[in-house]
Amino acid sequence: MAIYPNNAPRPRDSNEFFIPKTNGNKNSEQSNKKQIKNNQARDKFAEQYKRQIKVLSIFLFLISILLLIALVSYTSKDEAYAEIGFSDILALIRGDQAMYEKASATQNWLGIIGAIISNFLYNSTIGYAIILLPLIIALWGKHLFQNLTPSETLIKRTILFLIIGTLFATLMGTISHIQWLSPLPKEWSGVLGQFLASFLCSLLGTIGTILLIITLILIVSIIAFNINIDKYLEKIKIYFKKIVLFFRSLFKKTNKTQTNETYIEKETFQEEDNKHHNIDDTADNDDDIEPAKIIQKNIAIQKDKSKIGNLNITINPYKDTDITDTEKRKSTDFGSNIIHKLIDDDNHKVEDNSNEELNESEFDYEYPDIPETKPLTVTINEIQTEETPYYPISTAIHNEKISYTMPSLDMLDPDESSEFINEEELQENANILQEKLATFKIYIENLSITPGPVVTQYEFVPAAGIKISRIEALADDIAMALKAKGIRIIAPIPGKGTVGIEIPNQNPSIVRFSSVVRSPKFTQTNYKLPIVFGKTISGDVYCTDLTKMPHLLIAGATGSGKSVGINTIICSLLYKLHPSRLKFVIIDPKKVELKQYSRLENHFLAVSPDLDSTIITDPQEAVIVLKAICAEMDLRYDILASVGQRNIFEYNLKVNEGKFSKEKEMSHLPMPYIIVIIDELADLMLTASKEVEQPIIRLAQLARAVGIHLVVATQRPSVDVITGIIKANFPARISYLVASKVDSRTVLDISGAEQLLGNGDMLFNSGGSSKPLRIQNAYITSDEVERICDFIGDQQGYSQPYLLPSLNDTTKQKIISKEDRDPLFEEAARLFISHQQASVSLLQRRFKIGYARAGRIVDELEAAGVVGPSDGSKARQVYMESESELEAIL
C-alpha cells in the first residue's frame, strides 16, 4: 500500500494496470457480462420495491393456506355449486334467502367460495394433482420474502412440478380406460387429464401410453429434483450384492452343518491315532530327547494356537460428518459401536453376534440439500467525513463501492464418488493382520475398524506385556503381508490407549472440493479465514481457521499434491470472503502454477507499486514485495498503536462501530487480511537466501496481530531451506509424501510422511497436538479454478489493485538531515561514484571502519538517492555518474 502525504502525488494512474485476458470464448464472456448486468438491474428493482414485494409474499402465503384448506375439505357435494355464477354471489351478498340457505348447506371449510374453487380445480384442470398448486404458491411466497426476486431455479422447478402433475392426471385418465378395472372418479384426472389420455390412447394404446407417461414422469423428476442416477444405480448394485452374500452365507452354513458330524467322527479317530503315534515316537526317541522337554514343547505349541482364537471386530460406519480443529474426537469403548462380528480362526467365516442385517443407511450418506439462496451481493458504503484526513495505507479500495457476487457452487464439478464399503476386504485384512502379529507373539482379540475414503484405520489394544516399540518395528512386515503400498502405525493413538494401523483401500475414492465446500460446517462457520482441507480417515470434513495457525508451512515431493492444496486454500477463502476483507500476495517462481489468479488483480490481489507484475515470478521481485509487506506491517502497527488496539479484529470491529470517527489527524477504515502465498521457497532460498529469509522471519514473528498470514510451500524440505528460525515460527505444518524419514522429521519432527500414498494424502499438525492428523486433500481441477477466476474477473472490480507501500516512498521519508549525516558521507559518495559500484565491504576496506558504521553510511546514501537498494549478494547500483550531480544534493 502506498503512503499518500498531503503534498505527494499518487504513485500511479489506474490506467497503468493491465488485466490479462484469457483466450476464452467471446460469446461466453459477453453472456457473463450480460448476466451480471441483468442481476444488477434485478437487485436494484428489488431494493426499490422491497416493501411491496414483502407484502406480496405475505399475501401469497395467505392464498396458499386458503387454497389448501379448500382443496383438502373438498367433497363430491361441492360439484353441485358448479352452476353458481357471479350474479348468484352478488345475490348472496344482498341477502337472498334462497342463496343463503344454499350457502349454509355446503360442507366445504371455506364455504361456497371454497366449494366453487375446489370443484373447478379438481374437475376442470388436472384433478387431485392440483394439490401441488398451494405448495408452489407457498414456495414462491417464501422465496420472495427472503430474496425479493425469483430465481431461475424456482421458475424451472415450478414448470417441472406442473408438468409432473399433468402427467399424473394423464396417467390416471389412462387407467380409467382399462376395461377390466372399475372407472376412477373424474376428480383423479380432471378434464385436462381425460383429454390427454384419450388422445394418447388413440395413438399408442393403453399399455403404450402408460409406459410413455411413467418414463416421462421419471425423466422430469430426475431433472426437477437433480437426482444422481449413478448413485442410485450404485445403491441397487449394493442391495444386489448383499442379497447374493446373504444367500451365499446361508448355503455355506447348510454345508457346514452337514459336514460337522463326519468331521467330529474323523477327528476322534485321528486323536486316538495321534496318541498312539506320539507314544511310539517318544518310545523310539527316549535315548536322544528327554520326555520333559517333549511335553513342554507340545504345551507351548498348544498355547500359541489357543491364543489366536477368535477375533472380535467392530466396523465403524463411514460417516460424512464435519469436524474442526477445535472439536476433539471422543473415544468410545470397543464393542459398543455399530456392529460386532466374530471371525472363526479355522475357516475365517463371519457370524453376526446380534443377528441383524447391515443397514445400508449406515454406510451411504447423502449430502443434505442446500436450500436455493440468492447469490450474496455486498456493497461497501462510502464513509463521509467533513475533511479528508491522512490515512497511511492504501485507500483506493475504501473510496469505492462495488457490487460483488460470490462464486456459485455450480461452477464446481459434482461429487460422483462411490462410498460403498467392501466388508470382505476389511475382514480379510483383519484376519491377515491378526495372523501376522501372532507370528511375532503379539496377540489381539478386539479390533475396531474405521473405514475412510482412501485409508482404513484398524485399531486394537495389544495384550499385556507387549511393548509398543515392537509393534512399530513391524510396519514393513505388515505391509508385505497385506501387499499394501505403504502403511502407517500410530502407537499409541492420542487420547486413547490403543494402537492404530492405517492401511490403504484397494479402491480409494476421490474427495472432490465440491463435496467439502458444500459442508454445513464450512458454509455456516464463523471463522475469520476459514479453510477446508478435505476429509479425515474416518470421512469427516476438516475445516480450520488460518488466523489461529497463524502461518502455514507446506512440504512434499513433486506430484504429491502441494499445488492442489494451495488451490484448495485459496478457493476456500474466495467462497467465503468479500474483496474488501481479503487480499492475496502470490509469489510463484514456477511461473505456471498460480498464473490463473492474475484475473483477480482488481478484486483480491495486493501489488507493489514498484513492480509491474501482479503474480510475482522473479526472485529479486519477491525480495522487493516481501519488504513492501514488512513496510505494510509496520504501518499497520503504527495505526493500531495510535488508537490503543492490540489486533486487527478489535480495530476493525470498533471502526465499523464508528468509535474512531471523531479522529481529526487520521481517518480510520477497516483493514483487509493479507495472505502471502509462496509456492516454492527452495528456489527463492537458492538465489537470495538472506534477503528472503529475513522478511519471512520478521513477518512470521510479528504479522499475525495486523492480519498478515503466510502460506509457504516447498518441494525440498531440507534444513538449508526450512531453517531453524523459519521452522520455529511456523507451528502449523502440512507434509505430503516425502522421499525419506529425514525429510519427514524436518517438517513434522516425526517420521511417517514417507509412508503416505501421494495424490493429496497428507499429515497436518496444527501445532497443538503431538501426533499429526491424516487428511485426504480435496481435489480441485484447473478448469474449476479457471471458472472461478473468470467469474470473479468478469465482475466490476476496484479501479486499481490494493497497493502495498512503495519502497521508494519509504526511503524518501527516511531522508536524514545534513547535520545527522555521518562525517564520511561525502567521501563515501565520491568513492562510489568514481568506482560506479557500491558495497559495505568497499567502505570497510577504504576507510577502515566497522560493518555497522559502513552499513549506516550506505543506508544514508540510498535515502539520498545516490545508490540503489540492495540486490542480494551483488553490488548496489550507483545512480549518479559524476560528482557534479552529487554537488546538487550536497
CATH for 556: 3.40.50.300
Unique residue bearing C-alpha cell 498312539: 276
Residue 858, domain extent: 814-889
Here the cell at position 557 is: 515431493
817 — pLDDT class (breaks 50, 70, 90): low
Asked if residue 332 is part of any domain, the answer here is no
For residue range 314-345, list pLDDT tens digits in order: 666 555 545 444 444 433 333 333 333 333 44
- Is the pLDDT at 543 greater than 60, yes or no? yes
Q: Which of 783, 803, 823 is the last residue of a domain?
A: 803
Q: d(Cα 140, Cα 154) in Å, to the nearest integer?
A: 8
**Exposure string for 104-116, b = 16+ CB within 10 A, e = fewer:** eebebebebbbbb
Q: What is the mean pLDDT of residues 809-826?
A: 66
Identify the bridge partners of residue 448 per DSSP, sorted by sequence position: 314, 459
pLDDT above 60 for 381: no
242, three cell numbers? 448383499
In one letter, which amino acid is 534? Answer: G
**C-alpha closest to that of 529 among 325, 720, 248:** 325
Distance CA 527, CA 533 (A): 14
Q: Are residues 784 and 845 in the same domain?
A: no
Q: Does residue 146 belong to any structural domain of this protein?
A: no
Cis before residue 550, ω within 30 degrees of 0? yes
In a domain, 249, yes or no: no
Same domain, 748 and 726: yes
Name the band, by pLDDT with cuts 50, 70 and 90, for residue 775: very high
pLDDT at 768: 72
- Alpha-carbon distances, residue 438 vs 427, 441, 486 (angstroms): 17, 5, 21
Residue 108 has pLDDT above 90, yes or no: no
Cα separation, 259 vs 349, in Å, equals 15
**Segment holding 732, helix H or strand E:** strand 732-735
380 pLDDT more than 50: no
The whole-angstrom separation of Cα 571 and Cα 597 is 10
Q: Which run of H or E residues covers position 230?
A: helix 229-284
Cα–Cα distance for residue pair 842/680, rounded to 1 Å: 34
Whole-number percent of the chain with pLDDT over 70: 72
Q: Could you report the per-residue pLDDT of 344-377, keeping only the tens digit for each?
A: 443 343 333 333 333 333 333 343 443 443 343 3
Distance CA 383, CA 156 (A): 41
What is the sign of the dihedral through the CA atoms of 140, 144, 146 and 152?
A: positive
Residue 280: pLDDT band by 50, 70, 90 thresholds? very low
Of 775, 803, 831, the last residue of a domain is: 803
Residues 649 and 549 in one domain: yes
pLDDT of residue 453: 87
Radius of gyration (C-alpha) of the chain in whole angstroms: 38
> pLDDT tens, 194-253?
899 899 998 888 889 999 999 998 888 888 777 777 777 777 877 787 788 777 767 665
Specify the CATH number for the domain of residue 828.
Answer: 1.10.10.10
pLDDT per residue as tens digits for the range 139-158: 898 888 887 788 777 888 88
162 grid coordinates: 406442473
Q: What is the pLDDT of residues 414-427, one digit of tens each?
A: 887 765 567 888 88
Q: What is the mean pLDDT of the chain?
A: 77
Report the distance separating Cα 717 and Cα 681, nearest Å. Answer: 9
- Tell whether 835 is covered by a domain: yes
Give the number of other Cβ atoms within 10 Å of residue 494's Cβ.
14
- In this prediction, residue 190 carries a pLDDT of 87
pLDDT tier at 270, thresholds 50, 70, 90: very low
C-alpha cell at 98: 334462497
Instruction: Determine the Cα–Cα distance for residues 167 and 170; give it in Å rounded to an integer.
Output: 5
Q: Is residue 657 domain-shared with residue 713, that is, in the same domain?
A: yes
pLDDT tens, position by position, 146-191: 877 887 778 888 888 899 989 999 999 888 888 777 778 888 888 8
* Backbone phi and psi for residue 55, each to the nearest 5 degrees, phi listed first: -65, -40
Alpha carbons 501 and 734: distance in angstroms, whole number: 20
Q: For residue 76, how many other CB atoms are within 10 A of its CB?
A: 11
Question: CA torsion, points 573, 576, 582, 588, in degrees to nearest 10?
Answer: 20
Residue whose C-alpha is closest to residue 170's, from 124, 210, 131: 210
Instruction: Indicate the pairing of strand 377-378 with strand 404-405.
Output: antiparallel
829 and 683 share a domain? no
Number of domains in the chain: 2
Catalogue the E-assigned strands of 509-638. Answer: 530-536, 541-545, 552-555, 582-587, 606-607
Shared domain check, 818 and 797 = no
Task: Tell me which of 854 and 383 has the higher pLDDT.
Answer: 854
Categorize the per-residue pLDDT at 297 as very low, low, confident or very high, splitting at 50, 70 and 90.
very low
**Residue finishing a domain among 781, 803, 825:** 803
Strand partners, 459: 448, 500
Q: What is the pLDDT of residue 540?
A: 87
- Same domain assignment for residues 799 and 850: no
Per the domain annotation, does 293 fall within a domain? no
Check whether residue 857 and residue 796 sit in a common domain: no
C-alpha span between 811 and 800 (Å, rounded): 23
Report whether pLDDT(787) > 90: yes
In this prediction the pTM is 0.54
At residue 85, the 3 state secondary structure works out as coil
Stretch 300-327: mean pLDDT:
52
- Integer CA distances (angstroms), 737 to 209, 535, 555, 595, 747, in order: 59, 17, 8, 25, 11
Query: Does residue 81 lie within any of the structural domains?
Result: no
DSSP summary character for residue 540: -
Considering Cα of 562, then 565, then 571, then 573, what sign does the dihedral take?
A: negative
Could you read off the pLDDT of 649-681 as tens digits, one per residue?
999 999 888 888 777 677 788 899 999 999 989
Is residue 786 a contact partner of residue 596, using CB atoms and an 8 Å limit? Answer: yes
Residue 552's pLDDT band (cuts 50, 70, 90): very high
Q: Helix, strand, coil proportions of the chain in percent (round to 5)?
A: 50, 10, 35
Domain co-membership, 709 together with 799: yes
CA distances from 278 to 263, 289, 702 (A): 22, 13, 80
> Could you give the 3-state DSSP secondary structure of residue 877?
coil
454 touches 757 (CB < 8 A): yes
Residues 500/494, Cβ–Cβ less than 8 Å? no
pLDDT 10s digits, 35-87: 666 666 666 776 778 888 888 989 999 999 999 998 888 887 766 665 665 56
pLDDT, mean of residues 96-109:
70
Using one digit for the tens of pLDDT, what is the confidence trace for 441-454? 888 878 888 888 88
Give me the pLDDT at residue 581, please: 92
In terms of domains, do 627 and 765 share one? yes
Do 631 and 773 lie in one domain? The reply is yes
Domain check: are 779 and 850 in the same one? no
- pLDDT value of residue 309: 54
Task: Quote the CA–CA distance of 754 and 478 in Å, as a whole number.
Answer: 16
Is 118 a member of any domain?
no
Share of the chain above pLDDT 90, in %: 23
pLDDT, residue 760, reads 92
pLDDT computed for residue 22 by the predictor: 40
275 within domain boundaries: no
| Beta partners for residue 535, in sequence order | 541, 776
Comparing 92-96, 232-236, 506-510, the range with the smallest average pLDDT is 92-96
